[in-house]
Amino acid sequence: MARKFLEVEWDTSEFDKMLKELEGEVPKVQKKALMEMGDELLRLSSFEVPHDTGFLQSTGTSQSSGQDWEVGYHTKYAARLHEHPEYKFQKGRKGKYLEDPLKNNLKKWLAIYEEEIKRMLS
């Protein structure tokens, strides 16, 4: 007994076209999400960065670095203060002033990225 199979033909040209358009938007969306995340990390870290005269805090930047995003403080001593959480700082400030806000807000970073992806798809 011969079996008959149903043949279905799909025209995916419109779908392929839409995918190609979305593919072109992804780098823009990633860049925007990274910018928002970087700015927020800088804002959050400003509450923790050691603050004597305010100079260290004033050197904080959030900026594009090629395809990546860079957040940092730029003095000769910024890295040393960051890497020594055992130092006692005034006003409740502390070391790990970039690392801790980064680690403690993972849900926030995912939400920012998710929101940008939703905007792209809507």
DSSP characters over 56-118: HHHT-EEEEETTEEEEE--STTHHHHHT-TTS--GGG--S-TTHHHHHHTHHHHHHHHHHHHH
Q: What is the pTM of this model?
A: 0.82
83-105 mean pLDDT: 95
DSSP-assigned beta bridge partners for residue 62: 71
Residue-wise pLDDT for 25-80, tens only, equals 888 999 999 999 999 999 999 999 999 999 999 999 999 998 899 999 999 999 99
Mean pLDDT of the chain: 92
Amino acid, res. 109: W
